[in-house]
Amino acid sequence: MKLRVLYHGHCFDGVASAATFTRFYQERVHPGSEVQYGGLLHRPGNLFDEAMFDGDENAIVDFKYSPSEKLTWWFDHHQSAFLTPSDEAHFRADRSGQKFLDASRKSCTEFIADVAQTEFGFDAGPLRDLVHWAHVIDGALYDSAAQCVELKEPALQLMQVIEGESDERFIERIISDLTRKSLGEVATSAEVGARFQPILELHRETLEAIRRKAIYEKGVVQFDLVDEGYEGFNKFIPYYLFPDATYTVALTRAPQRTKISVGSNPWAPRPRRHNIATICERYGGGGHAVVGAISFAPDEVEKGRAVIREIVEELSQ
């Protein structure tokens, strides 16, 4: 029996969701099954290829829905869970009892653990720390922006490795390790530590680039890192540098896409007044009420810059 697990790539909650689902599946559904993984990224156009679903069973966790008849398990917690109304209708008509959505959940990992426990008799106790940190990280439930930016806890160092590591085989080993070992063992391993050091240096460089490039006005921090060549950034750096900001809007480019990241400050002195997922959906993106993103083709930087101006204007009102 081969299980293919497709998960939200370069995301702590996506990796933790894949590990949690794998442990549940191997304990309660098909013990001894072979598991293979594939990371998914938001990008313009079709997100799925039928060839991705090459298992006897196929699961998607922490990512958008696919109406493929080969998809047998699905868990998600995003407001923007469907690419089209017909995809949503397909999900609503499903009677398998193996596809689940709850947009009120802070993390997909927590959602999977709860459903697996209540519906299938799975013991999620050994995954308590993993579930806790996925809840904190994906729910932005940090004590402060400094906690996330200074990266002192091993779980946050692992988060940074997952977000910044380009070696997909290494990320798959992390998933496999998390099904058998504690979060603490994995996060403090020598190999994770070795991968973390260069990523930490890049993180510090990115922080200084944002300090130089960011413009803060009317509660919104905006910056463009395309010319600097940074493909991503720790999403809490803007609030670390500008604690009074309510929103951040940023542009980055990677080989696969040009990306607009839109977020809100959990510690802002002025409350959030906009649903960020709804704003991002207008441009083909999505996310949650408090954070979202939009993807364009790698050569659509100017289009991205035009959209950023529109979003900043809306959030500034």
Task: Check which CATH number belongs to the domain holding 304 and give it.
Answer: 3.10.310.30
Co-location of 184 and 223 in the same domain: no
In a domain, 196, yes or no: no
In a domain, 206, yes or no: no
For residue 310, is pLDDT > 90? yes
Mean pLDDT over 289-300 rounds to: 95
Judge residue 107's burial from the number of C-beta atoms within 10 Å of its C-beta, 0-12 exposed, 13-18 middle, 19 or more buried. Answer: buried
Write out the two tokens for 62: 């922490």
Distance between CA atoms of residues 59 and 73, nearest Å: 4
Over the stretch 40-91, which tens digit does the pLDDT of each residue have?
987 776 778 899 999 999 999 999 999 999 999 999 999 999 999 999 999 9
In a domain, 203, yes or no: no
For residue 208, give every residue at least 6 positions away whose Cβ sits within 8 Å of its Cβ, in sequence order, or none: none
State the average pLDDT for the chain.
96
Which range of residues forms the domain containing residue 111? 2-191
The per-residue pLDDT for 151 is 97
Write out the two tokens for 256: 């696969």
For residue 254, the SS3 value is strand
Co-location of 252 and 131 in the same domain: no
Other CB atoms within a 10 A radius of the CB of residue 158 amount to 28
Over the stretch 124-173, which tens digit does the pLDDT of each residue have?
999 999 999 999 999 999 999 999 999 999 999 999 999 999 899 999 99
Co-location of 149 and 259 in the same domain: no
Beta strands in 153-207 (DSSP E): none
Co-location of 221 and 153 in the same domain: no
Mean pLDDT over 296-304 rounds to: 96
Query: Which percentage of the chain shows pLDDT scores above 90?
Result: 96
By mean pLDDT, which of 4-8, 101-105, 162-166, 213-217 is the weakest? 162-166
CA 46 to chain centre: 18
For residue 289, give every residue at least 6 positions away whose Cβ sits within 8 Å of its Cβ, in sequence order, or none: 79, 272, 275, 276, 277, 278
Co-location of 173 and 30 in the same domain: yes
In a domain, 235, yes or no: yes
Co-location of 178 and 282 in the same domain: no
Co-location of 23 and 118 in the same domain: yes
For residue 107, is pLDDT > 80? yes
For residue 110, give every residue at least 6 positions away whose Cβ sits within 8 Å of its Cβ, in sequence order, or none: 131, 134, 135
Radius of gyration of the chain (CA): 19
Co-location of 264 and 168 in the same domain: no
Distance between CA atoms of residues 273 and 277, nearest Å: 12
Co-location of 41 and 151 in the same domain: yes
| 63: CATH | 3.90.1640
How many folded domains does the chain comprise?
2
Query: Which percentage of the chain shows pLDDT scores above 70?
Result: 100
Over the stretch 195-224, which tens digit does the pLDDT of each residue have?
999 999 999 999 999 999 999 999 999 999
Co-location of 137 and 72 in the same domain: yes
The per-residue pLDDT for 25 is 98
Over the stretch 222-245, which tens digit does the pLDDT of each residue have?
999 999 999 999 999 999 999 999
The per-residue pLDDT for 45 is 67
Co-location of 148 and 232 in the same domain: no
Co-location of 182 and 300 in the same domain: no
